[in-house]
Chains A and B, each alone.
Chain A
Amino acid sequence: MKICRDGVYQAKGEMALNPVFRRALALQFQQILKQQVAAGSTAAAIISKIGNREVVGYGFNGTKCYVDRIDFPMPAVRFKENTPDVMALREKEKGDWNKLTIEEKKALYRASFCQTFSEIQAPTGEWKSVLGISLIISSLAVWVYLVMKMYVYSPMPDTFTPEKQAAQLQRIIDLRGNPVEGISSKWDYEKGDWK
């Protein structure tokens, strides 16, 4: 069982359903809560959700969270916590920026931000998987139709053979069906053929 900043979580694969386990979990939680209460309201003792990160602004909704958004480019907290090497960079930042190396400048940027704009807006290639999966499902639909035709549907009636269809058409023409604008209007009765 590992304990991280945000609380307690199980390593993958472990089942927490064992009642002994659950009791151990509950005891751990009680201990943590007691520690918090005992520590009172000192900021250092409270397990802060943002850890050691510096709060720098409003963000996009006033909460102290970090989100990379193009429309709200400056998040409320810095991305990385104030570790000693970050603090050392901050000291250098107070001096002349011309003296910073490119690596230090990049490290300063990455300390405050997770992704650059080009990384946020980089194409994900998701369209390929969307197109591929939709085509696969469409082809499954075609397979389903083929199986239905082969094994499920009964054979077509014999009236569908070409000879019988021709005979039916001849009957329609003989009966002058749709003579004004339809099929018989296209038949030339003197010639005995289509117009």
Chain B
Amino acid sequence: MTGTIFDIKEFSLHDGPGARTTVFLKGCPLRCRWCHNPEGLKREEQLMVKTARCKSCGRCFMPCEHPECQLFKRCIHACPEGLVEISGKKIEAKELAGILMRNADILNFNNGGITISGGEPLMQWEFVEELIESLDCHTAIETSGYAEKDIFKRIIDKVDYILMDIKLADREEHKKYTGVYNDRILENFEYLKSSGKEYIIRTPLIPGITDTEDNLKQIGEIVGDNPWEKLKYNKMAGLKYPMLGMEYMIK
């Protein structure tokens, strides 16, 4: 099974217990306005240019013959600063597992493991399933909770730890700011509670959107006594938008 990933991050500290390696899967059905991983939104490979340091030398615009560059009409092997890259790499689940397991000794020693994140990893659930089955260590998933019930259940049952977002409690607000209603998410949360799995609910604090008293109170009621973490908004979140030719909607 082939999937598309856009990053692997070693020693991620905020993605579950212990020291972990997090793999980011490409594609997400939501469009949160504040999303800090814009390259995780689209399933397809994308051109990513670190524009801030570009010296406008024009080398990457010269025609080239690399097949991988043709789609983008820009050469990814020409930049002397290494600023032009393709975000998104197709990889077999087993091969990915092999790469991740190279550091199994360190992960185990540090009571950590592998976290599968995104985008929304459940968009590639079959790939995720095969990946988990090939990993011989503690596994975690970072999800928006937006997935079909059966799929959600199927994957949750296979991982050791779940980090799930509840961003907005109000149905309409959720639609307004993320592009989808939260019905599925709340329904999946019910399953998560009954699953017996270790998990944590997270709410990103977006000024004026999710950090309102009202929203936090309502989420608090939904979550009840279960583990809940509020994540501070990172001012650098908009950094990558210009690199993808996109505009960040939060000011």
Determine if chain A interacts with chain B.
no
Q: Which residues of A are at the interface with B, using a C-beta cutoff of 8 A? A: none
Q: Which residues of B are at the interface with A, using a C-beta cutoff of 8 A? A: none
